[in-house]
Amino acid sequence: MKTSALIFKSIEFRREGFYLRADNTFPAGKLTVILGPSGSGKTTLLDLAAGFLKPDRGSIMEGSQDVTSLSPEKRRVGVVFQDNALFPHLSVKDNVAFGPRARGMGRRQAGMVADRYLEMTRISRYAQKKPSSLSGGEKQRVSLARALAIEPEILLLDEPFSSLDASLRRDMRNEVRRIQRETGITAVLVTHDQEEALSLADYLTVMRDGEITQMGSPAELWNFPDNLFTALFLGRSTRLKIDKISILKSNLYSVETAAGSIWVEQEGEIPDLPATLIIRPENLRVSNSGKIRGTVIEAEYSGDQWKINLSVPGNSSDQIEFNCPDAAAPIIGDSVTLLHQPGSVRILPGVVS
C-alpha cells in the first residue's frame, strides 16, 4: 500500500468565532494521534484533511500533491467515522466494496478487494450479514475495512472507539495498531482519551483553542513538555508556583517554592518568572531527606498502588501528586516529605490562575 505524509502549510480556518491554525506535518507511514479537550479543533483538523471543510488560507498536501481544492472523493484518504456510517441495507461485504465500486472498479474485482480487507480486519465470517446484526466492535471493523478498501495513502479516524466499552476499546486499539503496522499506511487518529493516545501513537499531537501546542513522541511530550498546558493536560503532575530561581552552575538551579527549595537540572534557556515547576508522580518518592513538603488531602487506591495528593500551605494553586505502594500509603492529614528523581523536573513559563 502506497503511503504519503499529510502536510498542513500555513492553514487558517475561521467559523463563527472559532479560529484554527496549523503548520505541521503528519509523518508518512506512522500513526499520529491528536489529543485535546472538547472544542480544541481536533475533528476540524481531520475534516480539513478529508476535504469536508475548506481552509480560508494555506494549503493541504498529500505528499507532494496539493489537494486543498480537491473534493473528498478525489483525495487519497480513507475515513473511519465515530458512528460507523455503514449502509444498513447493504451486506457487510457490499459495504466494504462500495468505495472501490464508486471509484469505477468492476463488481468482481471490488468483491475481491472487499474479501481481502474483511480478512485483514478478521470479519470475513460476517460478509453476508447486515450491519444491524453486528456488535459495536464488529461494526467498527467493517468501517475500518471499508476505509481501507479504497486503498488510500492516508487513513483518518475520528474517535473510532468512543462508543465501545472498555474491553472492546482495547481490542480495537490493538487491531488498528496491528493493521497500521502491517500496511504501513499514514494514519491520523483523533481521541479525547489520554491512555488511548499514549498507548497508540508513534507521534502525539496536543491541541488547544485551534492550535497544536506540541507534537512529538509520547515519551517526549510526557517527559519533556515545552509548555504548561501540555504538561498538565497529559496525565497527573505536581505543579508548584516558583517564587525565585537562582543559578548554581551550568544547567543547575535552586528553585524556591512554597513546598520547599528544590535543585533542578535543566538544559537550555530557563524562562523568566512567572513560572511553574512540573514533576510527574512516578518521579517522586517519600523520603526523610526530601525537600518537597505537603499534607495529605486525598488518597485513591488504583489496584497496584495509591495515588496521593498533597496540599501546600499558602498557595491554593499548588498541587503535589505522587504514587506509593499499598504497604507504605500515608493517611489523610499526614505531613510528607518527598525526594525527586534527578533530571525529572521541568521549569515552564506561566502559572495556573
Residues in contact with 15: Cβ distance below 8 Å, sequence separation at least 6, in sequence order: none
pTM of the predicted structure, to 2 decimals: 0.91
Q: Which residues pair with 247 in a beta bridge?
A: 253
Which pLDDT score, from 0 to 100, does residue 82 have? 81
Residue 294, pLDDT score: 93
Residues of the chain with CATH 2.40.50.140: 236-349
> In the chain, where does DSSP find H-type helix?
42-50, 92-102, 107-120, 136-149, 166-183, 194-200, 218-223, 228-233
Neighbours of 286 (CB within 10 A): 16
Q: Alpha helix locations (H) across 79-126? A: 92-102, 107-120
CATH number of 236-349: 2.40.50.140
pLDDT value of residue 343: 87
26: nearest Cα among 201, 288, 260: 201
User: pLDDT value at position 169?
Assistant: 85
Q: What is the pLDDT along the chain (353 residues), one digit of tens a residue?
A: 789 999 999 999 999 889 999 999 999 999 999 999 999 999 999 999 999 999 999 999 999 999 999 999 999 999 998 887 889 999 999 999 999 998 888 999 999 999 999 999 999 999 999 999 998 888 989 999 999 999 999 999 999 888 788 888 888 889 999 999 999 999 999 998 898 899 999 999 999 999 999 999 999 999 999 999 999 999 899 999 999 999 998 889 999 999 999 999 998 889 999 999 999 999 999 998 999 999 999 999 888 889 999 999 877 789 999 998 877 778 899 999 999 998 899 999 999 87
> What is the side-by-side order of every strand in the sheet holding 31-35?
77-80, 154-158, 186-191, 31-35, 203-208, 211-216
pLDDT for position 124:
94
Q: Where in the chain is the domain with CATH 3.40.50.300?
A: 6-223
Q: Which three cell numbers stand for residue 215?
A: 507534537
Class of domain 6-223: alpha beta
Helix then strand then coil, in percent of the chain rounded to 5, is 30, 35, 35
